[in-house]
Amino acid sequence: MDASTIKVPVHDRFYIGGKWVEPAVPGETHHVIDASTEAIIATVPLGDAADVDRAVAAARRGFDTWSQSDLRTRSEALTEIHAKLAERSQEIAALISSEMGMPLPVSGLLQAGLPLWSFATMAKLVHEFAWEEEVGNSLIVREPVGVVGAITPWNYPLHQIAAKVAPAIAAGCAIVLKPSEVAPLSSFVLAEVIDSVGLPAGVFNLVTGTGPVVGEALARHTDVDMISLTGSTRAGRRVSELAAQTIKRVSLELGGKSANIILDDVGEDLTAAVVDGIQKCFVNSGQTCTAFTRMLVPRHLLAQVEGIARSVVEALKLGSPFAPGSELGPMVTKGHLETVRRYIAKGIEEGAKLICGGPEPVAGLAKGWFARPTVFSGVAPGMTIEQEEIFGPVLSIIPYDDEGEAIRIANDTIYGLSGGVWSRDPARAERVARRMRTGMVDINGGAFNPMQAFGGYKQSGNGRELGVHGLAEFTEIKAIQR
């Protein structure tokens, strides 16, 4: 499959109340651009507050029905959605690779594969979740939170949608989804799948549009009970501010500046530790909130780490997501590419040592928004590239002198989403991991667990997604005293 074989249907309507409906004010649209060719591949409508009002009203009616459904009905619906998405997984992977540039083989594994996990696991967990428990003379009951407004990003578009829609459906909620207008195409596939499954009208609603219009209308809406946002920390602040006006629940999965601590006893595992850290920094061309963008290394190992990093990163192949062998794709938009290049220039200006890469255009790639994979070393705590989320293929190597200093550097940002520790001593690695103020920590290259509690500390957000903790986010607790 390549870009030329993708046939994108016309998208000129929203999915509201179980039907495809025209926007309240037709005409305003957004072009979806292929990040590697800069060609327009689709156009989607941009909604407004009136469209949000219609969708929320439909969701309220859908909630009245779906909240009373039994667990078997919910599980069967989730299982059917999973099966129908699986049938379209190649299409989903290709659409997302076109929108935002992830190489197709990786897109098939992550962009199309992870959403399947969400629906399959929720279909199972709905039967295992503790919906009721006895506490003294009280019965503690978990009930659906109500109408959920979901606002999702462009970097893992369907995965982040599924991480909200699947548990919301499992909990008995109704949902109004606002996907990123930059990469919205897979959300229409999901709407088509849900329409074919036959959920009660209004349980799932889709309104495309911008954050300042549709996202803010959802956040301030008096009949929305919960907002679940994945996005930038700046967007999280704004949504929290608006949601506070009606005291609605807010679940936020925001930015990160994750530290990967390589301890001084890593020994012969040094190469594996550096390679794993690079992979977790550069996945999705660095456009990942959990990316390990700060590699903390013992000062006496700095020269070795620089050499390993240079050889690995300079060997990475950039190119079209549909070209065989491509390992890194483009930035999602021209504006984002310019932002990444400004950060690289800032690193040079502030005195970080450029190991490879740089702000210059990528040779041989005249079309597409490609950034050169870049590694800095000798990065000092407090430098801009050490503190701010770049969201691109940029790694900062930071030397330290002892374990305590490494932990202090790791914790000294506004973020606390993810991180890693490498040590030959698993007990020591876990001790360090427990001292890191971050929601998730990999030890010695631990693999991603789609059943874990996904989320962060500090300005990386609050609440959790995935697994049993993700399901719990969409429930309210009621105590019945007897």
From residue 227, give the alpha-carbon distance in Å to each of 28, 163, 370, 439, 444. 25, 13, 34, 20, 35
Taken in order 425, 428, 432, 434, is the CA torsion positive or negative?
Answer: positive
The rounded mean pLDDT for the chain is: 96
> What is the per-residue pLDDT across 141-158, written as a single tens digit (0 to 9) for each?
999 999 999 999 999 999
Domains of the chain: 3-254+460-481 (3.40.605.10), 259-450 (3.40.309.10)
* Euclidean distance between CA atoms 461 and 231, whole angstroms: 10
User: Residue 374 in contact with residue 395, Cβ under 8 Å?
Assistant: yes
Return the pLDDT at 465: 97
> What is the per-residue pLDDT across 51-108, written as a single tens digit (0 to 9) for each?
999 999 999 999 999 999 999 999 999 999 999 999 999 999 999 999 999 999 999 9
- Is pLDDT at 448 greater than 90 in this prediction? no
Residues recognised as catalytic = 253
* Euclidean distance between CA atoms 336 and 286, whole angstroms: 12
Return the pLDDT at 2: 52
Q: Which of 166, 142, 185 is nearest to 74 (CA)?
A: 166
Q: Which of 239, 312, 218 is nearest to 271 (CA)?
A: 312
Q: How many residues does the chain have?
A: 482
Q: Which amino acid is at 317?
A: K
The residue that leads in pLDDT, 4 or 254, is 254
- Is pLDDT at 5 greater than 80 in this prediction? no
Q: Which of 264, 356, 273, 265 is nearest to 318 (CA)?
A: 356
Give SS3 for 92. helix
Q: Where is average pLDDT lowest: 6-10, 89-93, 176-180, 380-384?
A: 6-10
- Is pLDDT at 3 greater than 80 in this prediction? no
> What is the per-residue pLDDT across 215-271, written as a single tens digit (0 to 9) for each?
999 999 999 999 999 999 999 999 999 999 999 999 999 999 999 999 999 999 999
Share above pLDDT 90 across residues of the chain, in percent, rounded to a whole number: 96
Q: How confident is the model at residue 110 (pLDDT cuts 50, 70, 90)?
A: very high
Share above pLDDT 70 across residues of the chain, in percent, rounded to a whole number: 99
Q: Where are the alpha helices (DSSP H) in 316-402?
A: 334-349, 384-387
- Is pLDDT at 201 greater than 60 in this prediction? yes
Q: Which two tokens stand for residue 139?
A: 């019965």
Q: Which of 239, 78, 107 is nearest to 166 (CA)?
A: 78
